[in-house]
């Protein structure tokens, strides 16, 4: 572990030198990869996610999803009970029965993920083998795959990475020139990007994952892909192993990130600068107008990121460069240099980055930094609020549509709202006291 460098100053200078990085391994405060099921089951509309886990796992996803009892959700938990843990029951036979009952009752399921958890890993239940066995039984009508959402040494956005990584070998082969956008995007955002590509004359664009599991995009050596989310390092490597090439770009958060991301695609597909400017200019202008009032709230406010969603570095870049926020510490659970190289080049010189977490030490640094806003997980937010900090839940940033020009102001609003609320509370309290 590197020495801890206390934050004495907030660096406001320009870009260039590689930022300093604190690397820590200690107690962490993050959700596990099961959380990804919440947004992925909404995206792939004929998929079902069967967690093989404990009652804790079931409670986690049910409360995260806010499931209504009359809904038929597309996820569930096959509970591993004491008999399984004690080795008294054949967990594989039990699992086969659960899958059989599920598929008989739900003919709408075309893709079933067996999702591993801490308990399934503790009892060494081989879900890869189970998925292969069940796939032979139920395929090709239903495809059955597996991935791990376990919370051991992972963070919650890795669930999506593991899921997409499991899907990559299923992608059909093509030798056509194409662009693939990789990462779950809300349908509304996907439609906005699709319209922009059409206006630029870019055809042969696919989105991975697709809305329907039968529409998996094809991949090959003439496929170029670009990540829409910064937490997909394993998926990136899996696509490269299928011959596709990665386009590196800043992520489409804010006006600058969106423009750079779209420009990378446009250049790869031979779109002229003139057409690119013509298509993007009105959207940029509209986004700039929407951002202007939010700048007033956010400018010069100090922000501190705990490592949680892996969105921290692109968001810090956006908040600093487009809204004038001052970066104190930017923590991220993992720092994939290949994925983030273009983002890191845009960060202010000598910004304090941290990778991994030792929560007590990071809390000490937070107290030194005295930020106006803290981005953190749910477990830290309430205690920090009670100490007078203004917080933003990192998980909300993954659940909300935040990509692209049309969402640039919505994204800024997510940070401005808690600051305005705090200012109003202070004002009201002072008025009461006077």
Q: 34 or 398: whose CB is closer to ligand SF4?
A: 34
Closest distance to ligand SF4 from the beta carbon of 181 (Å): 29
Residue 408 in contact with ligand SF4, rule: CB under 6 A:
no
With CB under 6 A, what is the number of residues at the site for ligand SF4? 13
Q: Is residue 255 a contact partner of residue 291, using CB atoms and an 8 Å limit? A: yes
Q: 57 or 311: whose CB is closer to ligand SF4?
A: 57
Name the residue whose CB lies closest to ligand SF4.
Answer: 151
Residue 56 in contact with ligand SF4, rule: CB under 6 A:
yes
Q: 151 or 257: whose CB is closer to ligand SF4?
A: 151
Residue 148 in contact with ligand SF4, rule: CB under 6 A:
no
Cis ω for the linkage preceding 190 (within 30 of 0)? no
Of 38, 44, 54, 95, the one binding ligand SF4 (CB under 6 A) is 54
Q: 32 or 330: whose CB is closer to ligand SF4?
A: 32
Closest distance to ligand SF4 from the beta carbon of 34 (Å): 5
Q: 36 or 151: whose CB is closer to ligand SF4?
A: 151
The 10 Å CB-count burial string (b at 16+, else e) for 313-337 is bbbbbbbbbbbebbbbbbbbbbbbe
Radius of gyration of the chain (CA): 23
Closest distance to ligand SF4 from the beta carbon of 2 (Å): 27
Structure-block tokens of residue 301:
């406010």
Stretch that binds ligand SF4, among 132-140, 146-154, 198-206, 418-426 (CB under 6 A): 146-154
Q: 152 or 289: whose CB is closer to ligand SF4?
A: 152
16, 75, 308, 326, 400 from 320: Cα distances, Å: 15, 38, 19, 6, 20
DSSP classification of residue 253: -
Map residue 267 onto helix, strand or coil. Answer: helix
Name the phi and psi angles at 270, rounded to 5: 75, 30
Euclidean distance between CA atoms 263 and 72, whole angstroms: 41
Closest distance to ligand SF4 from the beta carbon of 114 (Å): 13
Of 150, 206, 309, 332, the one binding ligand SF4 (CB under 6 A) is 150
Tell me which residues in 27-46 interact with ligand SF4 (CB under 6 A): 32, 34
Residue 377 in contact with ligand SF4, rule: CB under 6 A:
no
Tell me which residues in 77-136 interact with ligand SF4 (CB under 6 A): 117-119
- The H-assigned helical ranges of 322-407 are 337-344, 359-369, 378-386, 394-399
Cα of first residue to Cα of last residue in the chain, in angstroms, is 51
Q: Is residue 327 a contact partner of residue 222, using CB atoms and an 8 Å limit? A: no
| Contacting residues toward ligand SF4, per CB under 6 A | 32, 34, 53-54, 56-57, 60, 117-119, 149-151
């Amino acid at each position: 572990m590197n020495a801890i460098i206390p934050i004495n100053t907030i660096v406001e200078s320009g870009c260039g030198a590689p930022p300093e990085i604190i690397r820590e391994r200690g107690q962490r405060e993050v959700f596990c990869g099961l959380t990804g099921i919440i947004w992925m089951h909404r995206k792939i509309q004929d998929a079902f996610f069967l967690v093989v886990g404990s009652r804790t796992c079931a409670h986690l996803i049910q409360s995260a999803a806010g499931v209504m009892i009359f809904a038929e959700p597309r996820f569930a938990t096959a509970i591993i009970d004491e008999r399984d843990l004690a080795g008294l029951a054949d967990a594989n036979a039990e699992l086969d029965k659960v899958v059989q009952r599920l598929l008989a009752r739900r003919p709408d399921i075309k893709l079933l993920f067996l999702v591993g958890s801490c308990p399934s890993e503790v009892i060494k239940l081989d879900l890869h083998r189970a998925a292969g066995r069940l796939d032979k039984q139920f395929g090709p009508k239903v495809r059955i795959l597996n991935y791990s959402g376990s919370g051991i040494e992972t963070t919650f956005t890795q669930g999506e990475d593991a899921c997409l990584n499991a899907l990559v070998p299923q992608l059909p082969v093509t030798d056509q020139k194409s662009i693939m956008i990789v990462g779950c995007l809300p349908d509304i955002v996907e439609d906005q990007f699709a319209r922009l590509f059409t206006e630029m004359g870019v055809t042969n664009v696919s989105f991975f994952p697709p809305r329907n599991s039968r529409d998996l995009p094809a991949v090959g050596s003439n496929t170029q892909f670009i990540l829409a989310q910064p937490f997909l390092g394993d998926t990136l490597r899996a696509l490269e192993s299928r011959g596709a090439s990665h386009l590196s770009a800043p992520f489409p958060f804010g006006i600058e990130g969106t423009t750079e991301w779209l420009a990378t695609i446009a250049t790869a597909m031979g779109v002229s600068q003139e057409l690119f400017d013509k298509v993007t200019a009105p959207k940029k202008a509209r986004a700039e107008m929407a951002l202007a009032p939010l700048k007033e709230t956010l400018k010069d406010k100090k922000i501190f990121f705990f490592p949680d969603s892996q969105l921290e570095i692109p968001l810090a870049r956006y908040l600093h460069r487009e809204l004038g926020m001052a970066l104190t510490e930017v923590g991220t659970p993992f720092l994939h240099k290949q994925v983030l190289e273009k983002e890191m080049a845009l960060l202010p010189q000598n910004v304090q980055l941290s990778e991994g977490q030792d929560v007590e030490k990071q809390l000490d640094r937070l107290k030194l930094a005295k930020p106006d806003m803290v981005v953190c997980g749910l477990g830290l937010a309430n205690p920090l609020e009670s100490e007078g900090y203004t917080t933003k839940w990192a998980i909300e940033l993954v659940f909300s549509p935040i990509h692209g020009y049309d969402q640039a102001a919505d994204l800024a609003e997510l940070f401005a709202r808690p600051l305005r609320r705090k200012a109003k509370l202070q004002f009201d309290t002072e008025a009461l006291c006077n």
